[in-house]
Chains A and B, each alone.
Chain A
Amino acid sequence: MAGLARIGAISVILMLVALLAVLTTAAWPSIQAYGTSFLFSSDWRPNELNVPMKDGDGHVIIEDGEVVMETIPPSFGALPVIYGTAVSSVLALVFAVPLSFGTALFLVRLCPKKLIGSVSFLIEFLAAIPSIAFGMWGLFVLSPLLQNYIEPGLRSALSWIPGVNGWLFEETVKRGSKVVTSEVPLTGSDLFTGGLVLAIMILPIITAISRDVLRNVPRAQIEGTLALGATWWQSSWEMLRYSRSALFGAVMLGLARASGETMAITMVIGNNNQIKPSLFAPAQTMSSLLANEFAEASTEIHRSSLCEVALILLLMSLIFNVVARWLVVGKGARTSAAA
C-alpha cells in the first residue's frame, strides 16, 4: 500500500516534470532559432512570403520584362498573442473584480441568512458551465449584441472625449508610403468581447474566494471599527483592507484562469495576430492561437514556435498560481493563528 501510494504521489510530480520537459523539448528549435526576440517580435508569419525584390531606391527590379521575386522565410514572434492575452485578461479583471468583491461583501454582510446558500450555489454553478457553452453564447448572443448595439453606442457616447476616438475607434494603416486613417470596423469579435466573456467566467472563482476571505475577518476587527462610529461602508472598507493580500491572491487566481482560458475566447476574440491599440479590434491570445493553428501547423518550426507559446503560457500560469496560493493560504493561516 505504501509503495502504491508513493507511486501515486510520484506520478503527480512526474506530471509537472513531463509538462515542462516535453514542452521545452518541443519548443527547442524555436528557442534556438529566435532566442529572446521571440518574445518581442510582433511578426507571426507561418508561411514563407514571395515578394518583388526591390533595389536600393525602393523600386521593383524588373529583368527580362519580369518582376524578380524574393522569398522571405517565415517568422515567429509572440508579442501579439502576449499582448492579446494580457489585455483581455486585464480587461476581464476590470469588469469582474468590482462585481466579485461587491457580491462577496453582499454575501458576508447583507444577505439574509436564508438566501446565502442558494445565491452561493447559483454563483458556483456559473463556474461549472463549460467553456464551450460560454463560447457559443458569446459567439451567437453577446457578439452580435455588441456589434449592433453596444459598440456603436459606446462610439457615439465616448468619441467626443479627446484621444478616445483615435485610440478606440480609428486605426492607422500604412498603404505603401501613405498613412491612411480609417474607422475600426465594429465586429463584436474583439478584445472587448473577449474581456467580457472572460470576466463572466472568472466571476465565480473570485467571488467564492473573496467571500471566504472576508468571512474570516475576525469579528473583533469589524466591531472595533463600528464601535468607533464607522459606517457600514467604512467598516467594509476596513474588512477589504484587512484581507487585502488574500484578496489580491483571489484576483491572481482569476487572472490565472483568464489567461489560460481557451475555447470561449477563441470563439469571440476575432483571431487576428496583430497588435492594434483599439479594444474593438480583433486580436489573438496565446491560447486561441494554439487552438487555431496547432492542428494545422505543417512545418517543424511552426509547431515548435506554437509549443514555445504553450510553454510561456504554462510558465505564466504556474507563476500566477503559485503566487496566488501563497497569498491566499498564507494569509488564511495568519488570520486563523491570530484568532
Chain B
Amino acid sequence: MKQSVMSADGPPQRAIDMSGQAMPNRSPRVQQSIHGAGEKRRAPSLGHLEAVAEDESTTVTHEALETESPVVEIDNFSLYYGAKQALFNVSMNVPHGKVTSMVGPSGCGKSTLLRSVNRLNDLIDHVRTEGSMRYGGMDIYSRNINVIELRKSLGMVFQKPNPFPMSIFENVVYPLRIDGEKRKNVLMEVCERSLRGAALWDEVKDRLHESALGMSGGQQQRLCIARAVAASPDVLLMDEPCSALDPIATAKIEDLIQELKGEYTILIVTHNMQQAARTTDYTAFMYLGRLIEYGPTLDMFTKPRCRQTEDYMTGRFG
C-alpha cells in the first residue's frame, strides 16, 4: 500500500519518461522504477497553491473527447455524505470502447464517483446527489430506473479482491445464477469463456470446484474480473484493482486490461501514474472532489493544461 503511494509520487522526470514510452510493455527497469522510488518530495511552494485556488471551479476538457461517443455521461454531478460534500459539479463523458482512468490524490473522490455510476452509494446512509448521470441515455438517478438491471450492465471490480466463499466455478457463474440460469452447459460455457477472458483458465481449469479462497491474491482479482465479465456488462468499473497486489500480479492484470480493451468500456481508478500511462486512453484528474482536467492520457502527461495537473503528474504533490 505504502509502496504504491510512493510510486505514484515518483520523481518527476521518470513519470514523464514513462508516458513517452510505448504503452503496454514493461521492462524490468520500469518494474524497478515503480517500486524503487524512495526520494522525499519537496513540499509544494506557495505559487502552486495559488494556482490551485485560481482554476478551481471549471473543468478543462480536451477537444479530443468531443469526437468520442459517450456511454456514461456525467453532468454537473455533486454528492454529499451527510453534510460533507465529496463531489463538486463533476462533468465528464466516458467514451465508448475506451479505457479511461481516474487519477488524483487519496480522498479526492475517485471511488465516490465510480460508485455513483452503479449506485453502490445507495447503501450508505445520508448520501445525497445533485446533477445527473446518464447511462445509454437513461438517467441513472431517476426514480423509475431498474437499479438491478443497471448494475448488471456495469460490472465492477473492487480494490481488494472479494471472491465469495464458494467454488471457483460458482463464483464465476454467480451473475447467471442470480438470473435463474440453471442449464449446466450454458453455465460451463460462460465459466470457461469468462475465465479465458480473464487469463485464468489455464491456471484453474483443473480445480474449478475447489474453493476460490485458496487462490493467490492476483488470481482472486482476476477471478473477480472473470465474474464481472460473466455478467456480460457494457462497462467495467475498476477501483484500484491492483493496489492490493504484488508487481507480478499487477502486470498480469494490466495485460488483461489491454485484452479487455475494445470489448468493454473501462473506467479505472488508479493511484499509480505509471499504470495510468501504460494502460489507458484517457485520463481524468481529480482533486478535492473536483474534476480538474480530462483528456487523452498522453497529453495529460506531456502537455497538461492546468498547473495542478502538471504538479500532480510530475509528483509535486500527492
Q: Does A225 contact B (CB under 8 A)?
A: yes
Nearest chain A CB to B172 CB, angstrom units: 11
Which residues of B248-270 have CB atoms within 8 Å of chain A's CB atoms? none
Chain B 227-262 against A: per-residue CB contact (8 Å), 1 yes, 0 no? 110010000000000000000000000000000000
Chain B 83-114 against A: per-residue CB contact (8 Å), 1 yes, 0 no? 00000000000000000000000000000000
Partner of A228, one of B152, B160, B166: B152
Instruction: List the one stretch of B117-125, B131-139, B200-208, B288-296 in contact with chain A.
Output: B117-125
Partner of B152, one of A223, A229, A238, A241: A229
Q: Which residue of A lies closest to B237 (CB)?
A: A227
Name B's interface SS.
mixed
Which residues of A202-238 have CB atoms within 8 Å of chain B's CB atoms? 218, 220-231, 234, 238
Interface pair B151/A221, CB less than 8 Å apart = no
Q: Does A167 contact B (CB under 8 A)?
A: no
Could you say which of A221, A222, A228, A234 has the most chain B C-beta atoms within 10 Å of its C-beta? A228
User: Are A223 and B158 also in contact (CB < 8 A) when A113-B125, A229-B149 are?
Assistant: yes
Partner of A229, one of B123, B151, B162, B224: B151
The complex places the Cα of A241 from the Cα of B167 at a distance, in Å, of 13
Q: Which residue of B lies closest to A237 (CB)?
A: B178
B-side interface residues, number (CB < 8 Å): 24
Q: Which residue of B lies closest to A219 (CB)?
A: B123
Could you say which of B123, B166, B227 has the most chain A C-beta atoms within 10 Å of its C-beta? B123
Q: Does B24 contact A (CB under 8 A)?
A: no
Q: Does B174 contact A (CB under 8 A)?
A: yes
Interface pair A228/B123, CB less than 8 Å apart = no
Partner of B162, one of A224, A230, A234, A241: A224
Q: Does A242 contact B (CB under 8 A)?
A: yes
Chain B 175-210 against A: per-residue CB contact (8 Å), 1 yes, 0 no? 100100000000000000000000000000000000
Within 8 Å CB of A234, what residues of B? 178
Partner of A227, one of B118, B125, B160: B118
Which residues of B128-167 have CB atoms within 8 Å of chain A's CB atoms? 148-149, 151-152, 154-156, 158, 160, 162, 164-166
Nearest chain B CB to A154 CB, angstrom units: 35
User: Are A220 and B158 also in contact (CB < 8 A) when A226-B120, A228-B152, A229-B148 are?
Assistant: yes
Nearest chain B CB to A226 CB, angstrom units: 7
Q: Which residue of B lies closest to A222 (CB)?
A: B123
The complex places the Cα of A98 from the Cα of B129 at a distance, in Å, of 37
Within 8 Å CB of B118, what residues of A? 227
Q: Which residue of B lies closest to A339 (CB)?
A: B160
Nearest chain B CB to A339 CB, angstrom units: 10
Interface pair A229/B156, CB less than 8 Å apart = no
Interface pair B125/A224, CB less than 8 Å apart = no
Which residues of B2-19 have CB atoms within 8 Å of chain A's CB atoms? none
Within 8 Å CB of A242, what residues of B? 164-165
The complex places the Cα of A227 from the Cα of B162 at a distance, in Å, of 11
Interface pair B178/A230, CB less than 8 Å apart = yes
Interface pair B162/A228, CB less than 8 Å apart = no
The complex places the Cα of A231 from the Cα of B151 at a distance, in Å, of 10
Interface pair A224/B120, CB less than 8 Å apart = no
The complex places the Cα of A230 from the Cα of B123 at a distance, in Å, of 13
Interface pair A227/B155, CB less than 8 Å apart = yes
Q: Which residue of B lies closest to A242 (CB)?
A: B165
Could you say which of A224, A225, A231 has the most chain B C-beta atoms within 10 Å of its C-beta? A224
Within 8 Å CB of A113, what residues of B? 125
User: Are A227 and B164 also in contact (CB < 8 A) when A113-B125, A220-B158, A234-B178 are?
Assistant: no
Q: Which residue of A lies closest to B149 (CB)?
A: A229
Within 8 Å CB of B165, what residues of A? 241-242
Nearest chain A CB to B256 CB, angstrom units: 18
Interface pair A221/B162, CB less than 8 Å apart = yes
Within 8 Å CB of A224, what residues of B? 158, 162, 164, 224
Within 8 Å CB of B178, what residues of A? 225, 228-231, 234
Interface pair A220/B160, CB less than 8 Å apart = yes
Within 8 Å CB of A218, what residues of B? 162
Interface pair A228/B231, CB less than 8 Å apart = yes
Interface pair A227/B120, CB less than 8 Å apart = yes
Q: Which residue of B lies closest to A238 (CB)?
A: B164
Within 8 Å CB of B164, what residues of A? 221, 224-225, 238, 242
Could you say which of A220, A224, A226, A229 has the most chain B C-beta atoms within 10 Å of its C-beta? A229
Q: Which residue of A lies closest to B151 (CB)?
A: A229
Within 8 Å CB of A227, what residues of B? 118, 120, 151, 154-156, 158, 228
Interface pair B125/A228, CB less than 8 Å apart = no
Q: Which residue of A lies closest to B179 (CB)?
A: A229
- New contact pairs (16) apart from A220-B158, A221-B162, CB-CB < 8 Å: A218-B162, A220-B162, A221-B164, A223-B162, A224-B162, A224-B224, A227-B118, A227-B155, A227-B156, A228-B151, A228-B155, A228-B231, A230-B178, A241-B166, A242-B164, A242-B165
The 9 A-B residue pairs with the shortest CB-CB distance, nearest first, are A229-B152, A220-B162, A227-B156, A229-B151, A224-B162, A228-B175, A229-B148, A234-B178, A230-B178
A-B contact pairs, 17 of them (CB 8 A): A220-B158, A220-B160, A221-B162, A223-B156, A223-B162, A224-B224, A225-B164, A227-B118, A227-B155, A227-B228, A228-B174, A229-B152, A229-B175, A229-B178, A230-B148, A238-B164, A242-B165
- A positions within 8 Å CB-CB of B: 113, 218, 220-231, 234, 238, 241-242
